[in-house]
Chain A
Amino acid sequence: MAQAMTDTEAPPGVPATAPPPVRNRRRRPAPYLLLVPALATLLLGLGYPLVRQVAMSFQEFGLAQQFGTADPGWIGFDNYVEILSDPTTWAVIARSVVFCFAAASLTLVIGMGVALLMRSISTVARLILQVSMLAAWATPLIASLTVWNWLFDTRYGVVNWLLVKIGFEGMEGYSWLANPWTFFLVAGVIVVWMSVPFVAFSLYAALTQVPEETLEAAQLDGASRTQRFRHIIVPTIRPVLSIVMLLQIVWDLRVFAQIKYLQGAGGTVSETNLLGTYLYQLGIAQSEYGVASAVAMVMLLLTLGLTFGYVRSLLREERAS
């Protein structure tokens, strides 16, 4: 595939002696030609759904409109007013944001710990750590949900069994999913479990770029471990750290399958909805397509708002390079 790339853009026969900008002046359409296939695919897969989402969020759109027995009428911001004046929505938003930040920061802390560990332990130990990370990463979503749910099962779960064995008799038959607090504890454990490997590998990769000599020099000059971490390691890996953080916030805010699965396994839907499942409940289960689209738009705006700082710094880097 890399070969095809060059065939279209930079014919190997033309030695690129001039700096890139000059070369581009010669063949202006090339960048756009290279972008067209990807953009066309995106348009095909997402164009219509996205436009329709935005349109529907301003329309009266329910089952009747879906089956064509009534015309969708334009109702301006009514859907937005409806969801934003509903306290349920605010509860869901608050829950989602708290869950997102808790899970994302926990993931980053553990991931950072693992990355630092991988750097300082011997090859054999590192290999063991990496393989176990990869095992967690490679397990398909639905498989890991099944097994985690079963680990926390009320009657047959290993967690309850173990807790009873080590002396917490009260945990006999404890239903983790019935109580919203422990529901989110379980959900958090699962989400973090799935996300740590990616974060750990990315950060470990970044750590390999930290100059060893600088660290040694700082140590000789009397910098403590914390100081070295804060003033040398963190600045060096900042680009990776911010993109990983950004992705983690985006992913944890729109978490869906994990919550949906756990709700099905015994959670109280109304008390455990996050934005993803709230959207699903409105759109698919209650056929309130217009309202659900408004929720999706609010969710997108919320994501953009929460990640604004990161996005801006990423784009600034882009301009710099």
Chain B
Amino acid sequence: MSPRRKSRVVWSLAAIAIGLIFAGAGLWLIDRPDLWLWLITGTVFVLTGAVGLAIGDNAPQISWASIVGAELIVLYTLTPVVYLVSLSLKGGNADVNQGGFLPHDPGFTNYETVFEFSLFQHALFNSFGISIISTSISVVLATFAAYAVARLRFRGKKLVLSVALAIAMFPVVALVGPLFDMWRAIGIYDTWIGLIIPYLSFTLPMSIWVLSAFFREIPWEMEQAAEVDGATAWQAFRKVIVPLAAPGVFTAAIITFFFAWNDFVFGISLSSTERSIPVPASLAFFTGASQFDQPIAAIAAASVVVTIPIFVIVLLFQRKIVSGLTSGAVKG
């Protein structure tokens, strides 16, 4: 064991010990109102130690400052997420109003409330349907267009790309009004298709940009090389090109799905009833158990329910997303 490594291990173990002491003290003095602060401090120390232990020896340049920086970032990104879950588990108005980070009277009542709310059930169904349909159509259309932009030479290519970019820049709010009027006039207000079309319009430009950058990087000659080696044309395409193109297509799909699933502005303006209202817009209609109840805990529970599918998708395909961005984002 090199001296450098030895000192790192010693310091890491010390950090873990200090962290455990903090957390232990916090838990031991459980009636202290600032228990939360003690636990966080303890966690930061333990994590610092753990990161110190986990660091590979081939990454010697990492400093303690950057480890603490990383932890602060994790704290910044995760605190709201954890708090959302905590809020959703709080039991009733009294618990919410008591303040504090953790629920005093934890339970699943909010989730029951949410699922008894029939608008929410419809909204879940609508959101899934609309997002999946938008994503599929958008990816197919963007693939066609991006293939043309990336591989073929034709007049007006720059125009197509500039227009796509300008559309991506246009303020979304400004288009809601005219769309509302138009959808009313042709009778697709408050329908799935009435939401799918705007979602497609706003995600296509972005998808075309991402995908065309991606397709440009694919070594298309490999297809011919495979055919020279005796593969049929279909095999060459299937075994060589599809695996190379998949991550890019996947990234575009994720971006589109996120947009459709998260959209609030169109949802609230172009739909009004359970026929087509998506989840984010439906949250605006939440009310508490009584008129004076704040629906905050119920909204938190609904938000958790909405976040779970995205989170699962993202976790499952984490590596693919990162690799898709890797190859798509870097040109030449």
Q: Does B126 contact A (CB under 8 A)?
A: no
Q: Does B25 contact A (CB under 8 A)?
A: no
Chain A contacts for B172, CB-based, 8 A: 254, 256
Chain A contacts for B284, CB-based, 8 A: 142
Residues of chain B at interface, number, CB under 8 A: 127
Q: Is the CB of A300 within 8 A of B83?
A: no
Q: How far is the CB of B327 from chain A (nearest CB, A)?
A: 8
Q: Does B54 contact A (CB under 8 A)?
A: yes
Q: How far is the CB of A46 from chain B (nearest CB, A)?
A: 5
Task: Give the residues from 43 to 78 in chain B that come closer than 8 angstroms, CB to CB, to chain A.
Answer: 51, 54-56, 59, 61-62, 66-67, 69-70, 73-74, 76-78
Which of A34, A157, A295 has the most chain B CB atoms inside 10 A of its CB? A34
* Proximity string of chain A (19-33) to chain B, C-beta cutoff 8 Å, 1 when within and 0 when not: 011001000101110
**Residue in A46, A124, A132, A279 whose CB lies within 8 Å of B173:** A279
Q: Is the CB of A321 within 8 A of B331?
A: yes
Query: What is the total of A-B residue contacts with beta carbons within 8 Å?
Result: 340
Instruction: Say whether, besides A9-B147, A122-B54, A279-B174, A134 and B242 are in contact (CB < 8 Å).
Output: no
* Proximity string of chain B (179-202) to chain A, C-beta cutoff 8 Å, 1 when within and 0 when not: 100100000000000000110111
Q: Is the CB of B145 within 8 A of A205?
A: no
Task: Give the residues from 129 to 171 in chain B that come closer than 8 angstroms, CB to CB, to chain A.
Answer: 136-137, 139-145, 147-149, 151-154, 157-158, 160-162, 165-171
Residues of chain A at interface, number, CB under 8 A: 118
Task: Give the residues from 286 to 321 in chain A that come closer than 8 angstroms, CB to CB, to chain B.
Answer: 289, 292-293, 295-296, 299-300, 303-304, 307, 311, 314-315, 317-319, 321
Q: Is the CB of A45 within 8 A of B74?
A: no
Q: Is the CB of A139 within 8 A of B160?
A: no
Q: Is the CB of A2 within 8 A of B321?
A: no
Q: Is the CB of A141 within 8 A of B175?
A: no
Tell me the interface secondary structure of chain A in the complex. Answer: helix
Task: Give the residues from 283 to 332 in chain B that come closer than 8 angstroms, CB to CB, to chain A.
Answer: 283-284, 296, 299-300, 302-304, 306-307, 310-311, 314-315, 318, 321-323, 325-332
Q: Does B241 contact A (CB under 8 A)?
A: yes
Q: Does B33 contact A (CB under 8 A)?
A: yes
Q: Does B84 contact A (CB under 8 A)?
A: yes
Q: Does B30 contact A (CB under 8 A)?
A: no
Alpha-carbon distance A186/B200, docked complex (angstroms): 32
Alpha-carbon distance A275/B171, docked complex (angstroms): 9
* Proximity string of chain A (107-148) to chain B, C-beta cutoff 8 Å, 1 when within and 0 when not: 000100110010011111100111111111111111110111
Q: Is the CB of A35 within 8 A of B144?
A: yes
Alpha-carbon distance A15/B325, docked complex (angstroms): 30
Q: Is the CB of B322 within 8 A of A205?
A: yes
Q: Is the CB of A165 within 8 A of B37?
A: yes
List chain A positions with a Cβ less than 8 A from chain B.
1-6, 8-9, 11-17, 20-21, 24, 28, 30-32, 34-35, 37-39, 41-42, 44-46, 48-50, 52-53, 110, 113-114, 117, 120-125, 128-144, 146-148, 150-151, 155-158, 161-162, 165-166, 193, 196-197, 201-202, 204-206, 208-209, 237, 239-240, 243, 250, 254, 256-257, 275-276, 279-280, 283-284, 289, 292-293, 295-296, 299-300, 303-304, 307, 311, 314-315, 317-319, 321
- 10 sampled A-B residue pairs with Cβ under 8 A: A38-B142, A46-B201, A121-B67, A132-B81, A134-B315, A140-B280, A146-B296, A147-B303, A209-B326, A314-B165
| Nearest 5 pairs of A and B residues by beta carbon | A143-B303, A45-B201, A12-B233, A296-B174, A205-B326
